[in-house]
Amino acid sequence: MEMTQILPIIVGVVALVAGLIAGKFIFAKNTALRVQEAEQHAEKILSEAKLAAETLKKEKLLEAKEKNVQLKAEHDKEILEKNRKIGDAENRIRQKEQSLNQKTDNLDKQIKENETIKENLNRQIEVINQKRNELEKHQEEHIRRLEKIAGLSAEEAKAQLVESLKQEAHSQALSLQQEIIEDARLKANKDARKIIIQTIQRTAAEQTIENTVTVFNLESDEIKGQIIGREGRNIRAIEAATGVDLIVDDTPEAIVLSSFDPLRREIARLSLQRLVADGRIHPARIEEVVEKTRKQIEEQVMEIGERTVIELGIHGLHKELVRVVGKMRFRSSYGQNLLMHSREVANLCGIMAAELGLNPKLAKRAGLLHDIGKVPDEETELSHALLGGKLAEKYGENPAVVNAIAAHHDETEMQYVISPIVQACDAISGARPGARREIMQQYIQRIKDLENLALTYNGVEKAYAIQAGRELRVIVEADKVTDSDSEKLSFDMAQKIQTDMTYPGQIKVTVIREKRTVNVAR
């Protein structure tokens, strides 16, 4: 019984030991496998790390190369820019050297001419000295002869000798004086032609011929209907507010603005542009926009005047004269834009005055202002030259400038040297081929006379000549003119035009009277 109990215990111990040995063997085998797997995994990680390192190294090398290329390109670009600036500077220096060389050549020529004149004078002096010696010899001979003649005293001989010498010297002096005057005249004409030709060649001829129409382009023909309005009320409101004739015909996507006054056309064009962009087009809005545009144009006129005087280097000009200069942009003289003409005259005067050794700034100032009488704020009976002189004097201009403006059409005496220069430069600018059109100026003058005739009647507020002068629209003040007076006024104007003016075809006189009462609800 005891053996029976011990045997299972022994078997169990043996089995336990065998299990422990087997477990240890299995554990050792698993551990070896894990170690092997770990080594393989480590090798895989190392190989992947090496591969990633190589890839990263290549990427960095590529980035470095790209950066190097980019830096090199920027460096090359900087070098090219510096080389270009250096080249421009060299070109400017070369041009200045050429200009200096040309001026040096001109000075050399003038020096040579002066030396030639000096030599001529020396020769003439030698001739005079020679003549004087001959006269002295003749005088001695004459005295000896007189002494041989009986009955002549020394005083009588001396008197005859003096009289003879006076007559001979007088005749020789007259002859020499005539030669000197003729030589001076020829040289003066030559120098004058030279100065005028050089002045014209050095001034760029920028001509602007003014037209009487402006084309306003539209995005589509649908906008034409909005501009015309119901029964044409919008287009009538625009014409009444601006004094410009709107021609709406079959021309696609365009409206023609017709007026002899460029300032009115510009106001009408900008007003239409604002109205079309806003989309609200009705009579009240039209009047509001036209008024705002008119104020904007006034500011633009001042800006144009300031820019012009700055570009020409003219300083200290009165603000009113600056505004008048700006208004020249919207005026024309025989079809030639007045501002372009005045700028050209100013440049011509400056160059010509410098060539003659005068004050170029003063001459340029007079050249710019010589036609300010053509853009007066109020109509007057004075000519534009005299009116311009009065305006310049009113705003404190130099007396030489005032005289040059007033005398450039020979309506007053020229008292300063720059006055004939301004007159000559004005003629040069107007005489350039294609600069002016006589027919255009006659047409514009006829239109102005037509409007001024209407403004002479009492109660007339505004007058606009439209349809190329075939219609005169007169806006009267409702408080001063009744409906019956309007009919009589229209008839009287038509009769006055018929008797006092010359015109082609016929002119329609339309008198517009409108009474408005405005109150504000607050």
Supply the pLDDT for residue 384.
84
Domain assignment present for residue 425? The answer is yes
Burial bucket for residue 341 (CB in 10 Å: 0-12, 13-18, 19+): buried
Q: What are phi and psi of 316, to 5 degrees?
A: 75, 20
CA 62/CA 59 separation, integer angstroms: 5
Question: Is 252 inside a domain boundary?
Answer: no
Residues 454 and 345 in one domain: no
Q: What angle do CA 268, 273, 274 make, to 5 degrees?
A: 100
Residue 489: which CATH number?
3.30.300.30
In a domain, 518, yes or no: yes
Same domain, 463 and 377: no
Among the candidates 381, 414, 436, a domain finishes at 436
Q: Could you tell me if 344 and 421 lie in one domain?
A: yes
User: In terms of domains, do 363 and 379 share one?
Assistant: yes
Residues 332 and 404 in one domain: yes
List the CATH number of the domain containing 321.
1.10.3210.10
In a domain, residue 25? The reply is no
| Secondary structure E strands in 387-431 | none
Same domain (yes/no): 428, 452: no
Q: Is residue 298 in some structural domain?
A: no
pTM for the full predicted model: 0.46
Roughly what angle, to the nearest 10 degrees, separates helices 283-312 and 360-369?
160
The Cα 402–Cα 388 span in angstroms is 8
Q: What is the token pair recorded at 42?
A: 């480590």
Q: What is the pLDDT of residue 474?
A: 92
Q: Are 448 and 406 members of one domain? A: no
Query: Based on the structure, what is the number of domains in the chain?
Result: 3
Q: Which domain holds residue 372?
A: 313-436
Q: Tell whether 320 and 421 lie within a shared domain.
A: yes
Q: Which two tokens stand for residue 336?
A: 């030639």
Contacts 24+ apart (CB under 8 A), 449-453: 449/501, 450/497, 450/501, 450/503, 450/507, 452/379, 453/493, 453/496, 453/497, 453/500, 453/501
Q: Which of 414, 436, 458 is the last residue of a domain?
A: 436
Helices (H), 149-282: 154-202, 222-228, 233-242, 262-278
pLDDT in tens, the chain (522 residues): 556 667 778 777 778 888 888 777 787 777 878 888 888 888 888 888 888 888 888 888 888 888 888 888 888 888 888 888 888 888 888 888 888 888 888 888 888 887 888 888 788 888 888 888 888 787 777 767 766 664 556 666 677 667 777 777 776 766 666 666 666 565 555 555 555 555 544 554 454 445 556 676 777 667 777 777 777 788 888 888 888 887 776 667 777 887 777 778 888 888 888 888 877 888 888 888 888 888 888 888 888 889 888 888 888 888 888 888 888 887 776 667 788 888 888 888 888 888 888 888 888 898 888 888 888 777 677 888 888 888 888 888 889 999 989 988 888 888 888 888 888 888 877 665 444 544 456 677 788 888 889 999 999 988 988 876 788 899 999 888 888 888 889 988 988 888 888 776 678 899 998 887 778 887
Residue/partner pairs of 132-141 with CB below 8 Å, 24 or more apart: 135/165, 135/168, 135/169, 138/168, 139/165
346 and 427 share one domain: yes
pLDDT of residue 201: 47
What values do phi and psi take at 246, rounded to 5? -95, 120
* Residues 408 and 448 both lie in one domain: no
321 with 363, same domain: the answer is yes
Residues 345 and 426 in one domain: yes
pLDDT computed for residue 444 by the predictor: 75
**Structure tokens belonging to residue 21:** 């040995």
The answer to whether 358 and 416 have CB atoms below 8 angstroms apart is: no
Q: Which of 150, 184, 202 is the last residue of a domain?
A: 202
